[in-house]
Amino acid sequence: MEFNEKLIAKKEEWAKYKRGLTEDGVMQDHRQRIDRLPPGQRVTKGWPVLDLGVHPTIPLEQWRLKVGGLVEAPFAWDWETFMTQPQIQLVADFHCVTTWSTFDNIWEGVSFHHLIQVAKPRPEARFIYFTTYDNYSTNLPLEVCDEADVLLTRTWKGQPLPREHGGPVRVIVPKRYAWKGAKWVREILFLEHDRPGYWEVRGYSNTALPWEEDRYA
């Protein structure tokens, strides 16, 4: 009897991805893609560092995350308060517009969905604008940020998020190119009108969809 090696390998791969499923199965579609590499991307080992070149040092006791704009309940979390919010784990792939991707990253932190619940956006709020401790910025529609896999992460593979990757806390948006995820996030604004961020005003796509190879404006 001949085994169908290819089919078995594929089925094994699927089973392996299942380990990464979040409890409610939100990641399922993404995990079960047989080809996990968006067009024009290649897999890299480890996690390259890419940013404007400044890696701010933010001691935990000085760290604040401010949330405001068109919300009923603006707030500023300090570290202790951030840690008392519900923490979730996310396993996701990460796609950088410069063509590298990393698979099966494990992140843990506070979901953007939870942040929205706390802030209570007003009906006019339709866009999010992120600013950071290195004066970077990026933007997304509120409905994109409300997807279950958008995370304010404080760990990577069970360790505190390294400073060069945006620690203490950075944003991860797995379904968008990596520049949509603000490292060293400092302030999150809810807006009525879209406000393009650093790369969005420098020729990069406003929507940034890896599976559509939507890199440039």
Ligand X SMILES: Nc1nc2c(c(=O)[nH]1)N[C@H]1C(S)=C(S)[C@@H](COP(=O)(O)O)O[C@H]1N2
The contact set with ligand X (CB under 6 A) reads 47-52, 96, 132, 134, 136, 165-166, 178-179, 181-184
Alpha-carbon gap, residue 52 to 132, rounded angstroms:
12
Longest Cα–Cα distance of the chain, Å, equals 67
Residue (63 or 94) nearer to Mo ion, CB: 94
| Residue among 7, 30, 10, 188 at smallest CA distance from 101 | 30
Q: Which stretch binds Mo ion (CB under 5 A): 58-66, 74-82, 136-144, 175-183?
A: 175-183
- 3-class state of residue 47 by DSSP: coil
Residue 193, both tokens: 């009108």
- In the complex, minimum distance from the CB of residue 127 to ligand X, in angstroms, rounded to a whole number: 18
Residue 188, both tokens: 């999150």
Of these, 129, 179, 184, 198, which contacts Mo ion (CB under 5 A)?
A: 179
Contact track, Mo ion, 36-55, x by CB under 5 A? --------------x-----
Alpha-carbon gap, residue 217 to 210, rounded angstroms:
13
Residue (125 or 172) nearer to ligand X, CB: 172
- 3-class state of residue 46 by DSSP: coil
Residue (70 or 182) nearer to ligand X, CB: 182
Residue 48 contact among ligand X, Mo ion, none, beta carbon within 5 to 8 Å by kind: ligand X
